[in-house]
Chains A and B, each alone.
Chain A
Amino acid sequence: MAFEPKEPQKELKYEELRIYTDEELNNYTEEELKNFKIKHDIPDVEELEKGPWPSFVADAKREALHRQKLPEDRMMIARECVEDLLGQLQLSFDDGETHWKHGGIVGVFGYGGGVIGRYSDVPEKFPSIAHFHTLRVNQPASKFYNSDYLRTICDLWEFRGSGLMNMHGSTGDIIFLGTFTEQLEPIFYELTHVLQQDLGGSGSNLRTPSCCIGRARCEWACFDTQDMCYELTHYYQDELHRPAFPYKFKFKFDGCPNCCVASIARADMSFIGTWRDEIRIDQEAVQAYINGEIPPNAGAHAGKDWGKFDIQKEVIDLCPTKCMWMEDGKLMIDNKECTRCMHCINVMPQALRPGTDTGVSILFGAKAPILEGAQMSMLTIPFMKVEPPYDNVKELIEKVWDWWMEEGRNRERLGELIQRYGVPKFLEVIEVPPMPQMVKEPRSNPYIFWKEEDVPGGWQRDIKDYRARHKR
């Protein structure tokens, strides 16, 4: 079941695209690296070279040395930018305050996102990071790569930027960290023409959607997370690049209720895979777990002796709805009572699998604490079949956006708008009836906003009529 991108994409071959020669790429020895001193005195930063965890400082020094030894005309921004960045980090430690200026509006023509302006507030000390703008590069779904692609972006970014990046930013993009304004358009031009690769979102745009590993390497993906992420990212390119929203908007795609991309905590619209038929049971494998032939939870607890696996204690008693039991040596599940929490499946992946009639639950409104406090997404659509081209999903998305763009205040996330107007209004907008599953419990105050049309006779009354029955 291979996929075809909408626009044919030519394969990227590093050998055809590369900038640097092998000699330039291997231009320093281990010995030189050991003896390498950067131009600033950075004792606290260098302290972070010690210890077992990968040291970002040790890594940055490699790049600093590599740049030192490249010919001047093989880099379009100053060779000392990495050294200056480490120097500024030391100064920030000394001062206990950041040294990046507030904001700065830069970008590429026609886009309102994807580039974040950044300027040092001590450019006289660290001139090569006077400008240090970020580009967000839209990652391929679930972050698989081949070395041709990665080596090509490395050459591009070392030639036109600092050679420093994030793999990846919190939202999922590849982040290019640090270049001068002059190089923004050339980088964008090379990305789009040579790599057929676009920028990601920033500002009041659709942000770069992201998804879990899905069907590529997980047995629990209840829908095709990569395909849906790819399709919606392409379909909504305009919304991703040109700010038309009150604030940011995030889609995230989790293949099952384990939520590996944290959509329920981070996405304005969270798609979480689920099923509506029965958990598949392999009774022989259940016995193998009971007999201790297969380690529980895929071996996740192997580092400590937790004793013999006890299906009653570890699965049946922990089931949140108590819908499981053993009968004649067989594991039984009352599927209509199951809330699909994944615990039993996580514990016995070789014996239990999600059902086969699968789709997504859709939840709305998650966000970080600014301003009114953090919100998680609210269960709104219990189950939806999702198949390309996802027209049912797009229709729902557009109803939500139309309302939010109409009613949302500046910098108001969808979850805050839903709170301000109330869930009943939101349901009216997306044209679905209420269900008890949307709430943890019904309201405990009786302050219902009845509408005039709910009440027989309406709200227009004559006080004289009332007074005819009741003296003042």
Chain B
Amino acid sequence: MALSTERFGRYNPDKPMENRNTDLGPRHFWQYFPPIIQKNYGKWKYHEILEPGVLVHVSETGDKVFTVRCGGCRFMTVEHVREICEIADKYCDGYVRFTTRNNIEFMVDSPEKLEALKKDLMSRKHVSGSYKFPIGGTGAGLTNIVHTQGYLHCHTPATDASSMVKAVLDELFEYFQGMTFPAQVRISMACCLNMCGAVHCSDIALLGYHRKPPVIDHEVIEAMCEIPLVIAACPTGAISPAKTEDGKKTVKIKQDRCMFCGNCYTMCLAVPLADKEGDGVTILAGGKVSNRIHPPKFSKVVVPYLPNNFPRYPEVCETVKKILEAYAADANKYERIGDWAERIGWEKFFEKCDLPFTEHLIDDYRLAYDTYRTSTLFKYTEAAWEVSKAAGGV
């Protein structure tokens, strides 16, 4: 049965419930494994990274599978997917896979095919010059940045996603193609703190954030929203019921209690937060999900705000680069950014990364006390002397 080319396909709008197929679930994975993967399923013995972006996995059967990992845009067109298919058909018997971090992996079973595949991939460029399939993203390097929809498809973003990721990865391209860091670096990007991308446990997280409280559309709020739900949506209790001058039900907002989470807007379209001057980027650092050596950790806010300087976000690129360069120069082998910051102390992190420490970085939300330093164990940095000076101590 070929795909239909009728306007409504085989669907009959007059009898919508006729012959429905539901609850089929995903297709079964086994049919999409290349034969070498089927044959060696569960029998893999070890792997090695032969060069950045190229892995070999060796099976107990003696079989080897070579993988070439390429950076991909999460946002891609059918034209691009068809080109992926063309490559897969040419070198990989038609098989290909995508990674959790939006990379594309082509697998072959011989070193000869591997060389031809690599050459082909690196030769493919868009007409404007960017690579279509850059090889890299393995080992102690930078891999692809996972991200959210941004202005391309989302109704709540505080910044754009695809453009920021493109700008940052252009800036850090050599790190994607190299393995010169002390450990792997995972950057993630979410365009508001709903965090579809769950960036909160990343070595570096780029997070879109609003800074102006909602503006209230009094004319429609009663008709368009459930006011009690809007009030209940606020985690700080900043929203309360109110009446307009002409007696319509609405809400009022204690603006100094707003921490700009946007949860009210998720519940109600009449309280938008987005604003050109208000919105920008927060940078968090030092998180991870792996259990290796140290437990998984949350990322910590290290830069409270940078402007949305479209389309290249120079301030964001520069800050990320600064953190990565300080980390690469100073961390021990196997240390993730968070491990490094904890070993040297966060005061040293700010000093070495040349980042200002402002009051925004001290927690004053829930569980803030857990982050207070309740000891005399600290290192002297310029910031410490500033405090001593201000207090008349030196």
Q: Which one, B30, B45, B138, contacts A300 given CB within 8 A? A: B138
Contact A50 B16 (CB under 8 A): no
Interface mask (A75-100 → B, CB under 8 Å = 1, otherwise 0): 01000001001001100110111111
Asked, given contacts A1-B41, A165-B77, whether A259 binds B180 with beta carbons under 8 Å apart, the answer is no
**Nearest CB on A from B224, distance (A):** 9
Query: Does chain B have a CB within 8 A of A218?
Result: yes
Query: Does chain A have a CB within 8 A of B279?
Result: yes
Cβ contacts under 8 Å, B279 to chain A: 96-97
Contact B277 A96 (CB under 8 A): yes
Contact A371 B235 (CB under 8 A): yes
Cβ contacts under 8 Å, A168 to chain B: 74, 98, 102
Cβ contacts under 8 Å, B180 to chain A: 303-304
Measured between alpha carbons, how far is A88 from B201 in the docked complex, in Å? 32
Asked, given contacts A145-B95, A167-B102, A303-B140, whether A54 binds B133 with beta carbons under 8 Å apart, the answer is yes
Contact A170 B146 (CB under 8 A): yes
Contact A216 B37 (CB under 8 A): yes
- When C-beta atoms are compared, the residue in chain A nearest to B278 turns out to be A96
Query: Does chain A have a CB within 8 A of B373?
Result: no
Q: Which one, B133, B146, B269, B312, contacts A47 given CB within 8 A? A: B312
Query: Does chain A have a CB within 8 A of B346?
Result: no
Measured between alpha carbons, how far is A52 from B275 in the docked complex, in Å? 31
Interface mask (B150-168 → A, CB under 8 Å = 1, otherwise 0): 1111111100101100110
Contact A226 B29 (CB under 8 A): yes
Contact A376 B155 (CB under 8 A): no
**Nearest CB on B from A266, distance (A):** 4
Contact B42 A265 (CB under 8 A): no
Query: Does chain A have a CB within 8 A of B376?
Result: no
**Nearest CB on B from A302, distance (A):** 6
The interface stretch among B188-196, B244-252, B347-355 is B188-196
The interface stretch among B48-56, B108-116, B318-326, B378-386 is B48-56
Asked, given contacts A102-B269, A166-B74, A212-B100, whether A196 binds B27 with beta carbons under 8 Å apart, the answer is yes
Asked, given contacts A59-B79, A258-B290, whether A185 binds B166 with beta carbons under 8 Å apart, the answer is no
Query: Does chain A have a CB within 8 A of B123?
Result: no
Query: Does chain B have a CB within 8 A of A395?
Result: no
Query: Does chain B have a CB within 8 A of A383?
Result: no
Query: Does chain B have a CB within 8 A of A152?
Result: yes
Query: Does chain B have a CB within 8 A of A146?
Result: yes
- How many B residues, CB 8 Å from partner? 148
Contact residues, B56-86 vs A (CB, 8 A): 57, 65, 67, 71-82, 84-86
Cβ contacts under 8 Å, A142 to chain B: 29, 97
Contact A17 B200 (CB under 8 A): no
Asked, given contacts A110-B22, A118-B153, A193-B21, whether A45 binds B311 with beta carbons under 8 Å apart, the answer is yes
Contact B57 A241 (CB under 8 A): no
Asked, given contacts A9-B31, A96-B277, A186-B9, whether A373 binds B365 with beta carbons under 8 Å apart, the answer is yes
- When C-beta atoms are compared, the residue in chain B nearest to A11 turns out to be B31
Contact residues, B276-327 vs A (CB, 8 A): 276-277, 279, 289-294, 296, 298, 308, 310-312
Q: Which one, B97, B134, B153, contacts A145 given CB within 8 A? A: B97
Query: Does chain B have a CB within 8 A of A332?
Result: no
- When C-beta atoms are compared, the residue in chain B nearest to A155 turns out to be B3
The interface stretch among A156-164, A427-435, A464-472 is A156-164
Measured between alpha carbons, how far is A186 from B3 in the docked complex, in Å? 11
Asked, given contacts A102-B269, A147-B85, A215-B42, whether A51 binds B97 with beta carbons under 8 Å apart, the answer is no
Query: Does chain A have a CB within 8 A of B255?
Result: no
Cβ contacts under 8 Å, B45 to chain A: 219, 350, 353
Measured between alpha carbons, how far is A155 from B9 in the docked complex, in Å? 13
Cβ contacts under 8 Å, B162 to chain A: 56
Q: Which one, B5, B29, B151, contacts A144 given CB within 8 A? A: B29
**Nearest CB on A from B88, distance (A):** 5
- When C-beta atoms are compared, the residue in chain B nearest to A91 turns out to be B151
**Nearest CB on B from A12, distance (A):** 8
Contact A17 B196 (CB under 8 A): no
- When C-beta atoms are compared, the residue in chain A nearest to B367 turns out to be A373
Contact A266 B198 (CB under 8 A): yes
Contact B78 A186 (CB under 8 A): no
Cβ contacts under 8 Å, A47 to chain B: 311-312
Interface mask (A1-17 → B, CB under 8 Å = 1, otherwise 0): 11111010101000011
Asked, given contacts A53-B166, A59-B126, whether A300 binds B292 with beta carbons under 8 Å apart, the answer is no
Measured between alpha carbons, how far is A50 from B169 in the docked complex, in Å? 12
Q: How many residue-residue contacts, CB under 8 A, span A and B?
A: 484
Q: Which one, A97, A169, A230, contacts B276 given CB within 8 A? A: A97
Query: Does chain A have a CB within 8 A of B374?
Result: no
Contact A150 B333 (CB under 8 A): no
- When C-beta atoms are compared, the residue in chain A nearest to B90 turns out to be A147
Q: Which one, B23, B72, B94, B298, contacts A148 given CB within 8 A? A: B94
Asked, given contacts A54-B134, A98-B156, A370-B193, whether A198 binds B77 with beta carbons under 8 Å apart, the answer is no
Query: Does chain A have a CB within 8 A of B394?
Result: no
Measured between alpha carbons, how far is A63 from B73 in the docked complex, in Å? 15
The interface stretch among A131-139, A386-394, A398-406 is A131-139
Query: Does chain A have a CB within 8 A of B338?
Result: no
Contact A234 B47 (CB under 8 A): no
- When C-beta atoms are compared, the residue in chain B nearest to A96 turns out to be B276
Cβ contacts under 8 Å, A59 to chain B: 73, 75-77, 79-80, 126, 132
Measured between alpha carbons, how far is A410 from B130 in the docked complex, in Å? 46
Measured between alpha carbons, how far is A442 from B154 in the docked complex, in Å? 43
Measured between alpha carbons, how far is A299 from B50 in the docked complex, in Å? 7
**Nearest CB on B from A163, distance (A):** 4
Contact A189 B11 (CB under 8 A): yes
Interface mask (A302-338 → B, CB under 8 Å = 1, otherwise 0): 1110100000001000101000000000000000000
Cβ contacts under 8 Å, B275 to chain A: 96-97
Contact B201 A265 (CB under 8 A): yes
Query: Does chain A have a CB within 8 A of B1?
Result: yes
Cβ contacts under 8 Å, B194 to chain A: 368, 370
Cβ contacts under 8 Å, B377 to chain A: none
Query: Does chain A have a CB within 8 A of B13?
Result: yes
Asked, given contacts A59-B73, A166-B75, whether A143 binds B8 with beta carbons under 8 Å apart, the answer is no
- When C-beta atoms are compared, the residue in chain A nearest to B141 turns out to be A303
Measured between alpha carbons, how far is A197 from B16 in the docked complex, in Å? 19
Query: Does chain B have a CB within 8 A of A194?
Result: yes
Contact B155 A118 (CB under 8 A): yes
Measured between alpha carbons, how far is A134 from B235 in the docked complex, in Å? 29
Cβ contacts under 8 Å, A458 to chain B: none
Cβ contacts under 8 Å, A264 to chain B: 201, 289, 291, 296
Asked, given contacts A53-B134, A167-B76, whether A314 binds B294 with beta carbons under 8 Å apart, the answer is no
Contact B95 A55 (CB under 8 A): no
Contact B170 A149 (CB under 8 A): no
Additional 10 contacts, C-beta under 8 A, given A103-B269, A216-B33: A2-B30, A4-B28, A100-B154, A110-B20, A145-B98, A146-B31, A167-B102, A237-B23, A264-B289, A368-B195
What are 16 A-B interface contacts by the 8 Å CB criterion?
A1-B42, A48-B167, A54-B71, A54-B126, A56-B73, A85-B152, A96-B275, A98-B274, A102-B272, A139-B26, A143-B99, A150-B85, A167-B102, A215-B42, A300-B184, A370-B193
Nearest 8 Cβ contacts at the A-B interface? A96-B276, A300-B139, A51-B170, A102-B269, A58-B126, A49-B128, A303-B179, A147-B85
Which residues of B are at the interface with A, using a C-beta cutoff of 8 A? 1-5, 7-11, 13, 16-17, 19-34, 37-38, 41-42, 44-52, 57, 65, 67, 71-82, 84-86, 88-89, 94-100, 102, 104, 107, 126-134, 138-141, 146, 148-157, 160, 162-163, 166-167, 169-170, 173, 176, 178-180, 184, 193-198, 200-201, 229, 233, 235, 261, 263, 265-266, 269, 272, 274-277, 279, 289-294, 296, 298, 308, 310-312, 333-334, 365-367
